[in-house]
């Protein structure tokens, strides 16, 4: 299963909106074939592994198949993997976790079992969840899994007061940041960042065959006509009761304008509505790269699952903060996160921290549906 997870991870940038899945076929104690889920509309991991085996002249009959997610049982863009597996007649299928997609959850397992194939569920389930937090989140909560990327000095300023922020962190940290953009389905920023930096927010520092979609929180559609983002395909603009004429102008530039005003403040965007809209739009993972205002608004709205903080070995003394949130009165009121890892990235350190309760919700869902289908 560890190898199946490695395979799933090798396709990290690829299959959105489908989950990343890896599959390994073992026969007589030997790994005889493996497969990775391809880009949306193409073959899933199980089919790839069976094809690999066939090409090598082998047969899966009596083999054990390890797959990092329950095989699909429905006709989507591709035929169901359970049919292919049943046809291949393995003795046993081992699954990391049950498919969180409500329409099929447990059905693949049931179909395999009816065909006389033994099925084990729950091997390295949490590790598998780490590979598809967005897919699971979208299925379980109707919202994407959201991380905010922040680069800051040791005294936690993201830029000097005048906005200078280039090269606070080094080239390796920027490339690493592009890895997170590449795995995401969508990069989200705010109109302040667009006006200040005119960024493209695409993946440049590393190779990928797929660019994430991009979106801007832009309540009054102030995006400048020369904004580079307007030249990218299918830019999404989240607005709050914007001017109709401006909507028409922007739509003609192929941007998508989504009106999601906050009920309590019609000049602001409702961040939860943004996330619901994105989930319906098949967005699994959102990479936020914005200023303190948007970071803070998302944090306050409970929309951020994870922080990816690049810490540079320097002090600025003053500057722009990481996120604007109201101060607390008692330490006991502080939001609890948990650090999940920290690594050297060139001269900088990357620290990842998760909102503990939000992650626990996904873990518990996976564990309870695994328990339900364990036998």
- The answer to whether 315 contacts its own copies (rule: CB under 8 A) is yes
CB of 160 to its own copies, least distance (A): 7
* x/- track of binding to its own copies for residues 317-336 (CB under 8 A): xxx-xxx-xxxxxxx--xxx
User: Can you spell out the DSSP letters for 234-260?
Assistant: T-EEEESS--HHHHHHHHHTT-EEEE-
- The answer to whether 301 contacts its own copies (rule: CB under 8 A) is no
| Count of CA atoms in the C-beta half-sphere (13 A) of 308 | 19
Residue with tokens 């193409």: 42
- The answer to whether 348 contacts its own copies (rule: CB under 8 A) is yes
* Helix (H) or strand (E) segment spanning residue 134: helix 133-141
DSSP 309: E
Q: Exactly one of 10, 114, 248, 338 binds its own copies (CB under 8 A); which one? A: 338
CB 54 within 8 A of CB 43: no
Measured CA distances, 137 to 53, 101, 185, 360 (Å): 33, 10, 13, 11
Residue 241 backbone phi and psi in degrees, to 5: 45, 60
Strand partners, 213: 186
Name the residue nearer to its own copies (CB basis): 334 or 375: 334
Name the residue nearer to its own copies (CB basis): 255 or 307: 307
Name the residue nearer to its own copies (CB basis): 102 or 317: 317
Q: Exactly one of 309, 320, 362, 366 binds its own copies (CB under 8 A); which one? A: 309
DSSP 211: P
Name the residue nearer to its own copies (CB basis): 290 or 307: 307
* x/- track of binding to its own copies for residues 155-174 (CB under 8 A): xx---xx--xxxxx------
CB of 275 to its own copies, least distance (A): 20
- The answer to whether 153 contacts its own copies (rule: CB under 8 A) is yes
**Cα dihedral sign for 131, 132, 133, 136?**
negative
Name the residue nearer to its own copies (CB basis): 102 or 327: 327
> Residue 330 corresponds to which tokens in the numbers above?
């008692």
CB of 212 to its own copies, least distance (A): 26
With contacts defined by CB under 8 A, name the span among 29-37, 60-68, 150-158, 203-211 that binds its own copies.
Answer: 150-158
CB 172 within 8 A of CB 194: no
CB of 74 to its own copies, least distance (A): 40
Active site residues: 46
Give the C-alpha separation, 66 to 78, whole Å.
Answer: 20
- The answer to whether 316 contacts its own copies (rule: CB under 8 A) is yes
Give the C-alpha separation, 366 to 81, whole Å.
Answer: 21
- Residues interacting with its own copies, by CB under 8 A? 153-156, 160-161, 164-168, 299, 307, 309, 311, 313-319, 321-323, 325-331, 334-339, 342, 344, 347-349, 351, 353
């Amino acid at each position: 299963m560890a190898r199946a997870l490695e395979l799933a991870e090798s396709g990290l940038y690829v299959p959105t909106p489908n989950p990343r899945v890896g599959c390994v076929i073992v026969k007589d104690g030997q790994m005889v074939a493996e497969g990775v889920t391809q880009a949306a509309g193409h073959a899933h991991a199980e089919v790839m592994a069976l094809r690999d085996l066939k090409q090598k002249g082998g047969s899966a009959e009596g083999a054990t198949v390890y797959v990092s997610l329950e095989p699909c049982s429905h006709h989507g863009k591709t035929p169901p993997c359970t049919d292919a597996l049943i046809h291949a007649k393995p003795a046993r299928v081992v699954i990391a976790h049950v498919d969180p997609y409500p329409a099929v959850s447990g059905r693949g397992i049931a179909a395999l079992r009816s065909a006389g194939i033994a099925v084990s569920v729950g091997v390295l389930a949490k590790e598998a969840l780490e590979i598809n937090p967005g897919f699971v989140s979208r299925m379980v909560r109707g919202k994407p899994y959201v991380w905010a990327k922040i680069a800051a000095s040791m005294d936690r300023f993201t830029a000097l007061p005048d906005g200078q922020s280039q090269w606070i962190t080094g080239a390796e940290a920027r490339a690493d940041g592009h890895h997170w953009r590449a795995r995401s389905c969508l990069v989200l920023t705010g109109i302040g960042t667009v006006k200040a930096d005119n960024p493209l927010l695409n993946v440049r520092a590393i190779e990928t065959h797929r660019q994430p979609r991009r979106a801007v929180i832009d309540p009054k559609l102030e995006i400048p006509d020369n904004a580079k983002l307007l030249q990218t395909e299918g830019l999404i603009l989240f607005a709050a009761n914007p001017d109709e004429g401006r909507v028409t102008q922007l739509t003609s530039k192929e941007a998508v304008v989504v009106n999601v005003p906050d009920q309590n403040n019609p000049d602001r965007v409702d961040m939860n509505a943004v996330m619901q809209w994105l989930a319906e739009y098949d967005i699994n993972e959102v990479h936020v790269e914005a200023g303190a205002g948007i970071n803070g608004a998302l944090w306050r709205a409970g929309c951020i699952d994870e922080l990816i903080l690049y810490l540079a070995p320097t002090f600025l003394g003053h500057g722009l903060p990481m996120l604007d949130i109201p101060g607390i009165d008692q330490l006991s009121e502080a939001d609890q996160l948990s650090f999940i890892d920290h690594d050297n990235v060139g001269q900088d350190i990357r620290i990842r921290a998760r909102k503990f309760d939000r992650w626990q919700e996904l873990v518990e869902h996976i564990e309870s549906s695994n328990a339900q289908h364990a036998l």
